[in-house]
Amino acid sequence: MASRADNIASNLNLGNFAKATELKQRIWFTIGALIVFRFLSFVPLPGVNPLILSELYEQTRGGILDLFNAFSGGSLERMSLIALGVMPYITASIVVQMASALHPSLAALKKEGATGRQKLNQYTRYGAVFLCAIQGYFLSVGLESFAAQSGLQAVVNPGYLFRFGAVISLVGGTMFLLWLGEQITSRGIGNGISLIIMAGIVAQFPTFGTNLFEGRRTGTIAPWIIFAFIAMVVILIYGISFFERAQRRLLIQYPKRATQRGMMQAERSHLPLKINTAGVIPPIFASSLLLLPLTISQFAGNSVDTDSTFGSVIVMLNQYLAHGTPLYMTLYAIGIIFFCFFYTAVVFNPEETADNLKKNGGFIPGIRPGKRTSDYLEYVLTRITVLGSVYLTLVCVVPEFMIAQTGIPLFLGGTSLLIVVNVTVDTITQVQSHLLAHQYGDLIKKAKLKGRMR
C-alpha cells in the first residue's frame, strides 16, 4: 500500500525541474565531486610502480581485496592515494554504533541529541584515522614482502621511508574522501559517503560489460549465459527495489485531545518497521570473515612448505573456501542470516521504543504499554527479520551460484547491487523532495498573488 508521500511524489510535475535552480546546482556539484573522486583513483602512491602492481593483483584475486577493490572503484588494484576508500570510516562507524548500543556511557551519550551525535561522529573519525594508519602500514609491508616473494618488485625503494610515506598518503586520501562526502551531503544531493561507494562500483560497469561481450564475440561465453546474466540482474534489481521499500506499519494511537472547537479527537500514526532493517551490513560482514583466511593464505602461500601441517592447512583453505564451492556458499548464507539478526538487535531496541511510546502517551491498540509492547515489537521484528534474512541470502547467493556454474569472474555481486539500488532510490527520493518543496513554493506564491489582487 502506497503511503501519502508516495502518492504526492507520483503527482509531481517534472516540468518544474528546469525551474528548480537550487536543485540543478546541487546536482552539478555532486557530479563534479564524483569526477574528482574518479580522478584521484588514478593517482598512484609515491614510490610504487603501477605496471607491476597489476601483475601482483592478478595473483591475489578471489580474496577480501576484491571486495575492497570493488567498493573503491579499482583504486586498490592501482594502489592509488585513495586505495583504502571509505571502508575504514564505515568500519569505525559500525564499531561505534555497536558500542553505543552495548556500552552504558556511550548509550547515554547517544540520548543527548545533537550534541551526543556530534561527539559520536568525532569518535568515529578518530577511529577511521586509526584504522587507516594500521591498514596503510600493513598494506605497505605486505606489498613489499609479497613483491619479494613473487620476484616482482612493485616498490621502487622499500623501507621505512616508503612505509611512512604510504601511511601518510593513504590517511590523507581517506580523510579527503570523508570531507568530499560531507560536502556532497551538505551542498549536493544524496548521502555523500554512499554516493562515493556507489560511484566506485558503477565505474567498473563499462569494463565488465566490455569483457562480457568480448567473450561473446570470441566464443568463450555462450549467448545464453549473457541473456541469463542480464535476466538475473534485472530480476535482482526489481526484487531489491521491492523489498527495500517494504515495511510493516504498526498502528500507534494517542489519547483524545481537545481541539480549538472543543471537540475530542484521537491522533493516529504508524511505526514503520523495515523488512531489511540491517541493510547491507550482513553480507559485508559475512563475506569479509570468509575471505579473510583465504587472503592470508594467498599472501603466505608462496613462502610455506606444502608438506608441512601449516602448508596443508593453507592448501585446504584455498580449496574449500574458494568462490563457488558448496562450503563457501553454505557458510556465506549462514553468516548473512546470523548477522541479519545480530545487527537488527543492535540498531533497534524494542524496550527503548516501547518506553518512548509510553512517555509520549502512545500505545498499540490491544497491547498494554510497557513490557507487553516491548514483547510485541520484538515478536513482530523477529518475524519480519526472518523474511529479510531470506531475501538477503537469495540476493547474495544467486550471483555466487552464477559464478560457480558459468565460470565468469563477476564482480557484480549481490552486495554491490544492494548498494547501487539503495543509494539510487535514496537519491531519487531526495530529488523528489526538492521538487515537491519547489512545487509547494510556487503554489504559495500564486496564493499570495491572488490574495493581493482581491
> Is pLDDT of 404 > 80?
no
Range in 53-57, 156-160, 197-201 with the lowest mean pLDDT: 53-57
User: Please, what is the average pLDDT of the chain?
Assistant: 78
> Is pLDDT of 32 > 90?
yes
Range in 148-162, 227-241, 293-307, 417-431 with the lowest mean pLDDT: 293-307
What pLDDT does residue 183 have?
92
For the chain, domain boundaries: 15-204
> Is pLDDT of 179 > 90?
yes
- 302 DSSP assignment: T
Q: What is the 3-state secondary structure (H, E, C) of 130-197?
A: HHHHHHHHHHHHHHHHHHHHHCCCCECCCCHHHHHHHHHHHHHHHHHHHHHHHHHHHHCCCCHHHHHH
- What are the tens digits of pLDDT across the range 80-109? 888 888 888 888 888 888 788 777 887 788
Range in 2-16, 161-175, 287-301, 421-435 with the lowest mean pLDDT: 2-16
Query: 454 or 106, which is more confident?
Result: 106
Rank 11-15, 34-38, 86-90, 326-330 by mean pLDDT and report only the highest.
34-38
Task: State mean pLDDT over 111-134.
Answer: 85
- What are the tens digits of pLDDT across the range 315-338? 676 677 766 778 888 888 998 999
What pLDDT does residue 390 have?
92
What pLDDT does residue 261 have?
60
Kind and range of the H or E element at 270?
strand 264-274
What pLDDT does residue 262 have?
54
Cell of 446: 500564486
**Res. 110 pLDDT band, cuts 50 70 90:** confident
- What are the tens digits of pLDDT across the range 238-270? 888 888 888 888 888 887 665 556 555 567 788
Q: Which of 116, 123, 167, 122 is nearest to 143 (CA)?
A: 167
High-pLDDT (> 90) share of the chain, %:
10
Pick the CATH number of 15-204 from 1.25.10.10, 2.10.25.10, 3.30.70.1060, 1.10.3370.10: 1.10.3370.10
> Is pLDDT of 157 > 60?
yes
- What are the tens digits of pLDDT across the range 266-321? 677 888 888 888 888 888 888 777 766 666 665 555 555 556 666 666 667 667 77
CB burial of residue 1 (10 Å; 0-12, 13-18, 19+): exposed
> Is pLDDT of 210 > 90?
no
CB burial of residue 408 (10 Å; 0-12, 13-18, 19+): middle
What pLDDT does residue 1 have?
45
What pLDDT does residue 403 have?
75
> Is pLDDT of 342 > 80?
yes
High-pLDDT (> 70) share of the chain, %:
75
Range in 172-176, 179-183, 265-269, 299-303 with the lowest mean pLDDT: 299-303
Cell of 342: 545480530
> Is pLDDT of 8 > 50?
no
> In this structure, are residues 53 and 77 in contact, taking their beta carbons and an 8 Å threshold?
yes
> Is pLDDT of 446 > 60?
no
CB proximity list for 153: less than 8 A, separation 6 or greater: 49, 52, 147
- 258 DSSP assignment: E
CB proximity list for 211: less than 8 A, separation 6 or greater: none
What pLDDT does residue 259 have?
58
What pLDDT does residue 385 have?
92
- Position of cell 616508503? 162
Rank 113-127, 223-237, 379-393 by mean pLDDT and report only the highest.
379-393
Task: Report the C-alpha gap between 295 and 65 in whole angstroms.
Answer: 7
Task: State mean pLDDT over 361-366.
Answer: 83
What pLDDT does residue 52 have?
73
